[in-house]
Amino acid sequence: EAQVTQNPRYLITVTGKKLTVTCSQNMNHEYMSWYRQDPGLGLRQIYYSMNVEVTDKGDVPEGYKVSRKEKRNFPLILESPSPNQTSLYFCASSFGGDGYTEAFFGQGTRLTVV
């Protein structure tokens, strides 16, 4: 089954404790991206990757890091989480980043930073 898998689904952590949210896709997509979703704001792009070892900042990259060492994996790293990073996070993948090809989203990770 074609899918994007995120882990964990739920995470509560304390300020400053490094964490990683994993994302994996099995569709051989070149393009992967991370979004955060906050009430009333819609999805905002954090980082994206157009292929292995190619990553770039989205609209809200501060406080986040990513890596793309393999085509299927695109982890999101919070080196020192803060309460304003409490949000619902989605990973997505597609063949391209221009919207013509459908983006497939993971199930989401609800992160709470206390």
Partner 1 sequence: KNQVEQSPQSLIILEGKNCTLQCNYTVSPFSNLRWYKQDTGRGPVSLTIMTFSENTKSNGRYTATLDADTKQSSLHITASQLSDSASYICVVSGGNNDMRFGAGTRLTVKP
The answer to whether 98 contacts partner 1 (rule: CB under 8 A) is yes
Residues 42-71 that bind partner 1 (CB under 8 A): 42-45, 48, 50, 56
Give the whole-angstrom CA distance, residue 32 versus residue 40: 24
**Among the listed residues 12, 32, 37, the one whose alpha carbon sits nearest the alpha carbon of residue 22:** 32
Beta strands per DSSP E along the chain: 4-7, 10-13, 19-25, 31-38, 42-51, 54-57, 65-66, 76-78, 87-94, 104-105, 109-113
Q: Which residue has the tokens 């704001």?
A: 41
The answer to whether 41 contacts partner 1 (rule: CB under 8 A) is yes
Cβ proximity to partner 1, 19 vs 91, nearer residue: 91
Q: Which residue has the tokens 């309460």?
A: 83
Minimum distance, C-beta of residue 71 to partner 1, in the bound complex (Å)? 17
Q: According to CB under 8 A, which one of 34, 64, 74, 90 is a site residue for partner 1?
A: 90
Cβ proximity to partner 1, 56 vs 70, nearer residue: 56
The answer to whether 114 contacts partner 1 (rule: CB under 8 A) is no
**Binding interface with partner 1 (CB under 8 A):** 4, 31, 35, 40-45, 48, 50, 56, 90, 92, 96-100, 102-108
